[in-house]
Structure 1
Amino acid sequence: MSQVFSDGVVARVTEEINSNPSSRRHAENILPHRHKVASPPRQTLFQEFKHSFNETFFSDDPFGKFKNKKGSRRFILGLESIFPIFEWGRGYNLKSFKGDLIAGLTIASLCIPQDIAYAKLANLEPQYALYTSFVAPLVYAFMGSSRDIAIGPVAVVSLLLGTLLTDEIPNFKSHEYLRLAFTATFFAGITQMALGVLRLGFLIDFLSHAAIVGFMAGAAVTIALQQLKGFLGVKDFTKKTDIISVMRSVFSAAHHGWNWETILIGASFLAFLLTTKYIAKKKKNLFWVAAISPMICVIVSTFCVYITRADKKGVAIVKHIKKGANPISVSEIYFSGNYLTAGIRIGLISGMVALTEAVAIGRTFAAMKDYSLDGNREMVALGTMNVIGSFTSCYVATGSFSRSAVNYMAGCKTAVSNIVMSIVLLLTLLVITPLFKYTPNAVLASIIIAAVMSLIDFPAVILLWKVDKFDFLACIGAFFGVIFQSVEIGLLIAVAISFAKILLQVTRPRTVVLGKLPGTTVYRNVLQYPKATQIPGMLIVRVDSAIYFSNSNYIKDRILKWLTDEEAQRTASEFASIQYLVVEMSPVTDIDTSGIHALEDLLKSLKKKDVQLLLTNPGPIVIEKLHASELSRLIGEDKIFLTVGDAVATFGPKGVDS
């Protein structure tokens, strides 16, 4: 709301105010400021709830495309929303297929040896990882919205699943262990689907980037240490994952448990894998060298072991891999009984970790190619693929960063690359699996070690230290929790530190003192801008947070402390005492009843000090609540301003420009 006066009226009233300071408190009646803080239209309780609900769960307006559409068109749009392949498939052509074919064949050559290795992390037979890389990518290709993500078992989830399952059933060779793995996979899928259907995907954002960096690095170290069993040929190896237990197990077997042939095989092929990774990193067009190197390692090492019969000299080999496509496993899932609760718990944890990794990977590559990724649709797709996977002898699958990077570099165009990879895996299961019998475990250990090294992001850790020490603490806490305790403890620490950071920021928000930049009407933090000068007789404070029950008393006390400290400094410097406290509220997005009471208490404390309270630029929600609580009447409608400049112009000393 604005009112406009002629220049003569403005000049006359200004002269009166300057000549008679006592009339300044009546300035609002004589010369209202040109723009008053307006209140938004009143909304009913239902309207407020509807708006908040839509902003939380449907901010992307998923149903907007169905408006004003006929029944048949709505059906097609609904089908495309569930199966995006029907949407982008209409424009699919031979050129796109060539890119997807090359990418699919490339990631298949990478995933086969990785799958055989990752199955050992989950304490499962190798064929179950191959089953997973056949079914899961096929389902995702029809339902997922990412063009670049490559689906399959991954190291972190495999280790997490294996650790949690072994805690429940130590004998991982038992049939109950396998059934619990399928049960956990089923409930991991249900968890992911539920988050997508209920549009609760924002929950995974509570796990901060810093915590994920630390967790992934710790998991990489733990996974690499676990491979010392196969790399050194140790037979009696601990089932624990913490670094102390692993190293104790390794050194206790040093005198009689290490096999030099195994070490030679592992070290040779690890050096080869690291060399190819270095070449691919230096020359991007040679990415395929690193992509096919695991398969080359498997082929060469298998041939060498077969012709030398090194397995007779103590070199551990994969042995038999079951041939054939996925058997149905619906009847193997625990829907009741003693292991049901454990299956739900393990599924919930592994499902959330898998979801976090997949969404992070999908968003990364979507940003690189500049297309949008529907997070909730991704969750439904990932959940559906894991539920179907649990019915077809698969364990938890998600997006693999290493394979997705290769998929991207190989020139994939759509999710058809996942279909190509899936077909290659099917042919492998039907024909090739017997050829992996003599593959040495040392090579699989080398493949895993080379793969997980990319999970340790040193530049990200250094950046965390430079930018935010609390983020660095969260990263280090998660890292040490994983390597010194277990993967699930590290994950718990990561979540706990992430929530602690949120609580600290919410309960202890910043409040800063503002000053006027010389020659401008701009008011900024005096610590950030030392040349900013404070206004005589006024203290200007900005609150950088919403005011809730969790921080309202702290904000009130912090403002009063600023007032006390500033008053002491100004008295010592013989400056004018503070008569007005200006609270700049533009960052205050909301306020609750506790915040209202805190402002009332602040107003009472200021009256005892003979200081007047002025508010500037409260947002629409805040001003509405100030009016509803009648706090605006207690403060005074003439003491709520649009800008700090308006407040200073009305109540500040003569000569200060507004």
Structure 2
Amino acid sequence: MSIRQILGLQKPTNPLDNTNSQHDPDPTVLKWINEIIPSGKQLLDYFISLFPFLRWIRYYNMQWLLGDLVAGATVGAVVIPQSMGYARLAGLPVQYGLYTSFMGGVVYWLFATSKDVTIGPVAVMSTLLGSIVADMQAYYPSISGPQIAMSITVICGGIVTFMGLARLGFIVDFIPLPSITAFVTGSAITICSGQVKSLLGETADFSTRAPAYRIIINSLKNLPSSSKYDSAMGVSALVTLYMIRAACNYTARKYPRREKSFCFLSALRTVFVIFIFTMISAIVNCHRREDPAFAIVGYVPRGFQDAAIPQVRGSIVKEISQRLPACVVVLILEHIAIAKAFGRINNYTINPSQELIAIGVTNLLGPFIGAYSATGAFSRSAIQAKSGARTPIAGIITAIVVLIAIYTLTTALYYIPHASLSGVIIHAVGDLIVAPNTIYQFWRISPLDAVIFAVGLVVAITSTIENSIYITVFLALVILLFRCAKSPGQFLATARVGDKDHQHLMFLQSDDPSNSHPDLKLEMPLAGVFIYRFSEGFNYPNASHYTDALVRRILENTRSTNSEFYGKKGDRPWNDPHHHPDRAEMELPLLRAIILDFSAVNNVDITSIQNLVDVRNQLNHRAAPLGVQWHLVSVRNRWTRRALAAAGFGYPTSPSTISEIGGKLADSSISPGHGRKVDFEKGEEIFACQGCEDLAEPYEKKLRNIASGPLGNEIAHRPFFHNDLPRALERVEALLRLDASTGNI
């Protein structure tokens, strides 16, 4: 990928583009360097593209403003209690959640390509951050939790910002859906189990940072230690939240015309429940502030009293370095997944790299006012989308609502019950647990993906969320590499369709086990001619698998011409013992030509080309002294054509000229058999060695004879490169007829 493509200034070349034909000049390193260096105008366009709001802000109107006001105010009301609860998950005072929500709304709209996503504290990231803070404070008790959290946030923000500026958003595509689903479900179960202790007011001393299964066991063991007042405030709040949602959903189905109104009321259920239970708490505890009847939030400082320049200590960086990848993955994964989902729902496309810049800059600047790690929030983004947000400016409205709360509502926030906040968290996170039907669909579509999900979920519950991410991604990559390495090539046969006057030649898999074309009569193209198609690229993981299958099939279906080729008995290699071929073997055809279909191949590497050269050596030796024609079809990529030509493909070959890449004749710029050395950087061909021109002469004469016929248009440059299979097969037939007429067979 070039720098221009990374910056989004040039679209990647389509490997199937007809303009990229075999007659194009071979690429050179100098031209490639010139292509990847952006011009001044392209650099300016790149910097302008970093601020997508410049494209739509000039069209902003009152109708958009009304939609953004409603959506932003709704999300702002919801985010206040949620962010306070999530700050507790991170092991921080509740005001840090408010700071994070404010910063997300202020910064995100400048870089956003999604109108629905809202940035702020989220449950999964807060839980991960909380476990890191707790572990760090065990080793460094003198360092405060907020200082550790700010350091992690700044570092993660810098990493994600760099990834966005380098346009590396495609990295998210390497994390498959089963890994995401297992990560989200495992995180939700871990978070819900960790909130049970606070929900019930259990006074027993056990950690809520342990693996989920331990928390569940300890919570059940210590149920007798629950406080009746905390349990009442927590369980009743949780039940009320579910009752309001169920009632709104029921009435929305019963009265479809008022569905939007009921959805709006359902979105505000968190605000309503927190308001009611805060009022109850204020009435009960107003005269007993020093000894409240149940646990409450307590003092919340007014304004941004925790704003400061974050201090990133080397000791902190060293200790958290092993857990940084998980933090970065969570920040990116949750946000991009949410942004893509709402983009599909509402018919627009996001730019993943630009979204990385948005969350990266948010986390870089946030710690200066006391904000910790922020990313896209699923529940709040759903509320913003359903509330009619028209542009990312809805985030500014949300930030204004949070700012008002920070300066005017701190007295009311004092009385919010901890148990009710835990109920809000459980209610918000519970929806992230995947439904059993989804798991069943995984099993029906791809059982291996269902296994990956199950492994990830078990690891998340019994170990940590980070380990769940690492293991599931590793398993997915192993399966991907295995499928790539074992991808089966296809031997093709021909079939003719149509009437007698208008017949069309089709190329179908000759050994298709499903027999998907039972009505077609498949025929092998020609005796001693094999057509082989690479199915999933041709690179080092699968090169040997492809070539082994190719050689095995050819050896089974052809006979050797060199049974008496060795002058002396002792000249025969140990692995080619002399034998008298039986009658059945003598009836097999001689190997004459191999046609390789590269339509599924975009790039090759040294390993794959060396494998192909080795196979050519082996089969040319088997067919000596005739040699084998190697024809290549649909090689669209210029660099792939250059690599194949550099290894001697595309020209007639002779067994006596073969060696490995870098050998005497077939170095990286030699065309064996054609007898010319190709200097790709200068675009020249010169004779490589004395006598090579004589070696190639018989084939040159053949090609000149054929060039006068209807197939001669493609001969001049590289005669054994072809645009399609029918043309390659015609060329092979013409050369074999010429061999027969001249007595070379």
Q: Same-fold call, TM > 0.5?
A: yes
1:618 aligns with 2:635: yes
Equivalent positions of 1:481-520 (< 5 A) are 481-517=459-495, 519=497, 520=504
Match of 1:364 in 2: 341
1:322 aligns with 2:301: yes
User: Deviations 1:246-273 (Å, cap 9, x if unpaired)?
Assistant: 123113213x312344334333332332
Over 3 Å counting, the alpha-carbon distance change for 1:278 and 1:141 in structure 2 is same
Structure 2 unaligned segments of length 5 or more: list them. Answer: 1-19, 253-258, 498-503, 560-582, 654-698, 700-717, 735-745
- Whichever residue aligns with residue 552 of structure 1, its letter is A
Shift of 1:608: 5.1
Q: Select the residue among 266, 280, 289 that pairs with 2:265.
A: 289
Match of 2:444 in 1: 466
Shift of 1:645: 2.7
Over 3 Å counting, the alpha-carbon distance change for 1:381 and 1:646 in structure 2 is same
Match of 2:660 in 1: none
Shift of 1:308: 4.3
Equivalent positions of 1:150-549 (< 5 A) are 150-170=118-138, 176-235=144-203, 236-254=205-223, 256-278=224-246, 283=252, 285=260, 286-308=262-284, 315-325=294-304, 327-330=306-309, 332-334=310-312, 336-342=313-319, 346-458=323-435, 460-517=438-495, 519=497, 520-525=504-509, 526-527=512-513, 529-531=516-518, 533-535=522-524, 537=527, 538-549=529-540
Greater Cα offset, 186-195 or 204-213: 204-213
**Runs of 4 or more consecutive aligned structure 1 residues displaced over 6 Å after TM superposition:** 171-174, 310-314, 565-568, 571-576
Matches of 1:148 and 1:415, distance apart in 2: 7
Shift of 1:424: 0.8
1:199 aligned counterpart, secondary structure: coil
Match of 1:144 in 2: 112
Matches of 1:281 and 1:149, distance apart in 2: 23
User: Deviations 1:215-264 (Å, cap 9, x if unpaired)?
Assistant: 1111111111111111222232324331231123113213x312344334
Matches of 1:456 and 1:363, distance apart in 2: 19
Matches of 1:94 and 1:603, distance apart in 2: 71
Match of 1:600 in 2: 613
- Contact 1:119–1:128 (Cα < 8 Å) also in 2: yes
- Whichever residue aligns with residue 213 of structure 2, its letter is I
- Whichever residue aligns with residue 263 of structure 1, its letter is S
Match of 1:656 in 2: none
- Whichever residue aligns with residue 598 of structure 2, its letter is M
User: Deviations 1:360-412 (Å, cap 9, x if unpaired)?
Assistant: 22222233333343333322222111111111111001111111111011001
Over 3 Å counting, the alpha-carbon distance change for 1:326 and 1:87 in structure 2 is farther
Matches of 2:556 and 2:232, distance apart in 1: 71
Matches of 1:277 and 1:40, distance apart in 2: 64
- Contact 2:304–2:369 (Cα < 8 Å) also in 1: no
- Contact 2:284–2:293 (Cα < 8 Å) also in 1: no
- Contact 2:201–2:227 (Cα < 8 Å) also in 1: yes
Matches of 1:399 and 1:278, distance apart in 2: 26
Matches of 1:575 and 1:363, distance apart in 2: 61
Match of 2:646 in 1: 628
- Contact 1:210–1:472 (Cα < 8 Å) also in 2: yes
- Contact 1:171–1:177 (Cα < 8 Å) also in 2: no
User: Deviations 1:139-165 (Å, cap 9, x if unpaired)?
Assistant: 112332322211110111111111122
- TM-score with structure 1 length normalisation? 0.82
Over 3 Å counting, the alpha-carbon distance change for 1:427 and 1:158 in structure 2 is same
Shift of 1:650: 5.1
2:144 aligned counterpart, secondary structure: helix
Structure 1 unaligned segments of length 5 or more: list them. Answer: 1-35, 68-76, 654-658
Matches of 2:189 and 2:34, distance apart in 1: 47
- Contact 2:104–2:118 (Cα < 8 Å) also in 1: no
Matches of 1:173 and 1:109, distance apart in 2: 36
Over 3 Å counting, the alpha-carbon distance change for 1:63 and 1:149 in structure 2 is farther
Matches of 1:320 and 1:211, distance apart in 2: 40
Matches of 1:575 and 1:132, distance apart in 2: 80
Alignment identity in percent? 24
- Contact 1:606–1:612 (Cα < 8 Å) also in 2: no
- Whichever residue aligns with residue 523 of structure 1, its letter is F
- Contact 1:191–1:348 (Cα < 8 Å) also in 2: no
1:41 aligns with 2:122: no
Shift of 1:470: 3.1
Over 3 Å counting, the alpha-carbon distance change for 1:578 and 1:251 in structure 2 is farther
Matches of 1:172 and 1:291, distance apart in 2: 42
Greater Cα offset, 573-582 or 85-94: 573-582
2:651 aligned counterpart, secondary structure: helix
Q: Could you say which structure has the greater relative contact order, defined with CA pairs below 8 angstroms and 6 or more residues apart?
A: 1
Structure showing greater radius of gyration is 2
- Whichever residue aligns with residue 561 of structure 1, its letter is R
Matches of 2:463 and 2:336, distance apart in 1: 27
2:524 aligned counterpart, secondary structure: coil
Match of 2:694 in 1: none
More helix by share: 1
Matches of 1:231 and 1:574, distance apart in 2: 84
Shift of 1:62: 11
- Contact 1:113–1:295 (Cα < 8 Å) also in 2: yes
